Structure 1
Amino acid sequence: MATNTLSSPPIGLKWRSSTTYILFTISIAMFTDLFLYGIIVPTIPFILRDRLDIPHQQIQSLTSSLLSSYALASVLFSLPAGIIADKVAARQVPFLGGLLSLLSSTILLFLGKSVPVLFLARILQGFSGAVVWTVGLALIRDTVGSANLGVTIGNIFAFISVGELISPVVGGILYDKAGNGAVFGVCFALLGVDFVMRLVMIEKKTARKYEWDDRASSETNSAIDDAESAAGETSPLLQTVKSREEEEATWIVPKDQPTLIQKFPIIYTLRNSRLLVAEFVALMQAFVIGVFDSTIPTETEGLFGFSSLKSGLMFIPLVLPYLLFGAIAGKGVDRYGARIVATVGFAWMVLPLVLLRIPHSGGAPEIAKFCVFLAFSGLGFALISAPSLVEASYVLERYHHANMELFGQDGPYAQLYAINSMVFSAGLTLGPLVAGLLREKIGYGNMNAVVAGLCAVVSVLSWIFLGRIVKK
């Protein structure tokens, strides 16, 4: 979209580069990724059984492996995607490339009649996810800055959670009533809309070449330092109170760094405890999501004899609270810091995970219990969705502002989000694998007890290490 000369701005430059359109385009891209990811979750066991004639005893392990292959591919491809996105003139180029991979994946999932083909499809889908989330998050920060990152992420994630909410339902209904063709017809239609929107979008930095900017992003960025100075974002717990000068000095990178760090300065930031714990929060968030994704279909089938349709419907109580409270939780992170929200969120997750051992085989009362506990879990997911990204962005921004010569004018933000995507994808990889193993060895209830213990540990670490805002 930047091929026009500077004297001839693209048609519709104003609205195509507006904050609203850019954020909506990114939202649709993430919505599509989640929709196409989620639509296969409740149908995988039935595709393996009906299309591939896989024996029943192998379905749980293959389901977990297929879910994990997506995340593993995202781990492998996220960092290269981030490096490329930071180097190219326009992030739109890799953004479109990821969509082509998603199209190829969807075709293979539609036509695949063997396990290796399904694995290849999920790997291509994982590559696309790596690009969408790495480049998409970088574009969000480019557009709104970091001062409003939490509430923006909360709003976008609340919107795209609709994709996560309806995709298992749509997948279950269409697969149960009309088969593969109807399921993937919806997927291809959504891909077409996504492609047009990504193609039309013009980034802020491209628009500025034509001396046009709606100023939303630049004004936000220029206000970051003042807002943070006034708000008083502090160092981790147990550190002494420092003057602003001393605080700034803690972010300065010593001179004469090794060549590798000079070329990839983000490596230096990985020694920061706040950043490391923020990434661990992302890991556990994804881990728990993977646990739920891989066990809800099989557990509801085992307890209640549910079909793919009914298994898909069970994701509604899990995702609906996120849709309702995600933006509120994101605003809380912007206002009070990641520390308190992450601590409360992971502590809350312990309760429903323990309670999920209560439902047993039966009728409506047991199904109702299961739904209520899933809804409690959904509220926890709303709380833990934004802290990691906001905290990690804040830490890198402090290093960036204190070391402009080393980090460059734009900073390695896409690489940061690539690392976050890698960590998140690692969690999505481990979650289904660990869940499948524990469920087979110690049962569903005990598996959830183990996950609850891990959430309690993350809650404590969040309280100790993550940032907080002190009102003055």
Structure 2
Amino acid sequence: MAAAKSLPVIFLARFVQAIADNSMWIAGLAMITDIVPSHQFGRIMGFLSVAVSVGTSAGPMVAGLLFEKCGYWAAWSSAFLLLFIDFIMRILMIERPKTELLGPLFRAADEEIDPLIPQTIQPYKQGQPDPDVKHVSNAEVSGLWFYFYLLRQRRFFVGTASYVFYAMLVTSFDTTLPLHIRESFNWGSLAAGLLFICLQLPGIILTPLSGTLKDRVGTRYPTGTGFLLIAPFFWLAGLPGASEVSWTSGSLETGKAVYVVSVTIIGCLFSLFNGSGFLEATLTVDEIESNNPGIFGSNGGYARANSLSWMSWTLGMFLGPIVSGLLTEKAGYFKLNLILDCMTND
């Protein structure tokens, strides 16, 4: 990517980079779900979302500063340094033994077998099914059947769909906010940057608290409340500059204040959605495994479930700019926000 001097090479490098990015994200989530107990996963996902937000915010700033002060290759050196540190940390990371991850379904083959031990608690060899556990045939959960089976679970399907809409909300701001404030308030890039800070900073602060709340009360009520509360503020954010409302005209200070406050509160409410798709995927797999131990094999289905959640996020990021840009051109910014309200709350 750094050495590319033509568009085809840049596109090829970006393609490889996308594969590596998705692989690292899915594998990292799978390792987290293997280690972190389910009742603490919301809090951990909160800290993970904070780390991602800080990294995506600090990365462009540091790279831009290095590029301006030191040149092109100095800016790229920061990326190479981070990759080297990641490589070393991955080598040094200690994973739990596989026998711990297998749980009660598969036990160590060399475990002592005593004929005096009652049959109900007598150990059995690795790979042999527990006679007291109800199993489902491999054909039902392997290959593409795994994804069909998972999408039939209402909890997973609703969580994945809500993650698509959340990604669309986030990317609609990225697409339309700079253009809207320029047309309505005549604000430039500095104001846009400050507004993005108002959108992201509350999430960095509140997301760990939101994750702890989800661990205590579950994900349904915090996420559902977030979608309900965010609707009026999306409506308010669409008022400044809209011809339908005079008191929030872009030339008035009232309209500017309404827009800034609305964006900030929306950033606070976004903390209720961070990581919700991956959290629902993990909890769904846990629930299925508890009812049918070993249904997804010895390694479980966490990585495959998280990959579907990541696909839903990526789908929302793909659709968000297209839908928001098209609706803004055809219907206007105010009606765009109303349509996004209807989509998310349905």
TM-score by length of 2: 0.76
Distance in structure 1 (CA, Å) of the matches to 2:231 and 2:76: 37
Larger Rg: 2
The residue type equivalent to 2:45 in the other structure is: I
Residue 210 (structure 2) aligned to one of 310, 329, 332: 329
Q: 1:176 to 1:348 in 2, by over 3 A?
A: farther
Is the aligned partner of 1:306 residue 2:188? yes
Distance in structure 1 (CA, Å) of the matches to 2:256 and 2:63: 21
Distance in structure 2 (CA, Å) of the matches to 1:391 and 1:148: 13
Residue 454 (structure 1) aligned to one of 333, 343, 346: 343
Who is 1:230 aligned against? none
Who is 2:56 aligned against? 164
Contact 2:45/2:211 (<8 A) preserved: yes
Deviation at 1:329, TM superposition (A): 0.8
Deviation at 1:301, TM superposition (A): 4.5
Who is 2:153 aligned against? 272
Residue 424 (structure 1) aligned to one of 292, 313, 329: 313
Residue 261 (structure 1) aligned to one of 131, 141, 159: 141
Contact 2:162/2:344 (<8 A) preserved: no
Who is 2:196 aligned against? 315
Contact 1:265/1:407 (<8 A) preserved: no
Deviation at 1:117, TM superposition (A): 5.1
**Which has the higher mean CA deviation after the structures are superposed, 181-190 or 317-326?**
181-190
Is the aligned partner of 1:138 residue 2:33? no
Contact 1:133/1:417 (<8 A) preserved: no
Distance in structure 2 (CA, Å) of the matches to 1:300 and 1:179: 32
Distance in structure 2 (CA, Å) of the matches to 1:450 and 1:178: 46
Partner-residue secondary structure (3-state), 2:38: coil
Who is 1:291 aligned against? 172
Deviation at 1:444, TM superposition (A): 2.0
Distance in structure 2 (CA, Å) of the matches to 1:112 and 1:297: 30
Question: How many pairs are equivalent?
Answer: 308
Written as runs of structure 1 = structure 2, the 5 A alignment for 1:168-247 is 169-170=61-62, 183-205=75-97
Deviation at 1:372, TM superposition (A): 2.4
Deviation at 1:369, TM superposition (A): 4.3
Distance in structure 1 (CA, Å) of the matches to 2:255 and 2:143: 57
Who is 2:115 aligned against? none
Who is 1:387 aligned against? 276
Contact 2:39/2:215 (<8 A) preserved: yes
Written as runs of structure 1 = structure 2, the 5 A alignment for 1:317-396 is 317-360=198-241, 361=250, 369-396=258-285
Residue 40 (structure 2) aligned to one of 145, 148, 151: 148
The residue type equivalent to 1:140 in the other structure is: I
Contact 1:283/1:424 (<8 A) preserved: yes
Residue 441 (structure 1) aligned to one of 330, 334, 340: 330
Who is 1:398 aligned against? 287
The residue type equivalent to 2:40 in the other structure is: N
Partner-residue secondary structure (3-state), 1:383: coil
Who is 2:112 aligned against? none
Q: 1:256 to 1:414 in 2, by over 3 A?
A: closer
Residue 299 (structure 2) aligned to one of 387, 410, 417: 410
Q: 1:196 to 1:418 in 2, by over 3 A?
A: same
Deviations, residues 344-386 of structure 1 (Å, cap 9, x unaligned): 1111221221122233455987655443222111112101124
Contact 2:327/2:333 (<8 A) preserved: yes
Deviation at 1:290, TM superposition (A): 1.7
Deviation at 1:299, TM superposition (A): 3.3
Distance in structure 2 (CA, Å) of the matches to 1:440 and 1:203: 51
The residue type equivalent to 1:266 in the other structure is: F
Contact 2:281/2:302 (<8 A) preserved: no
Structure 2 stretches of 5 or more lacking a match? Answer: 105-132, 242-249
Distance in structure 2 (CA, Å) of the matches to 1:318 and 1:306: 17
Deviation at 1:179, TM superposition (A): 7.4
Q: 1:175 to 1:305 in 2, by over 3 A?
A: farther
Q: 1:381 to 1:121 in 2, by over 3 A?
A: farther
Distance in structure 2 (CA, Å) of the matches to 1:270 and 1:432: 26
The residue type equivalent to 1:401 in the other structure is: S
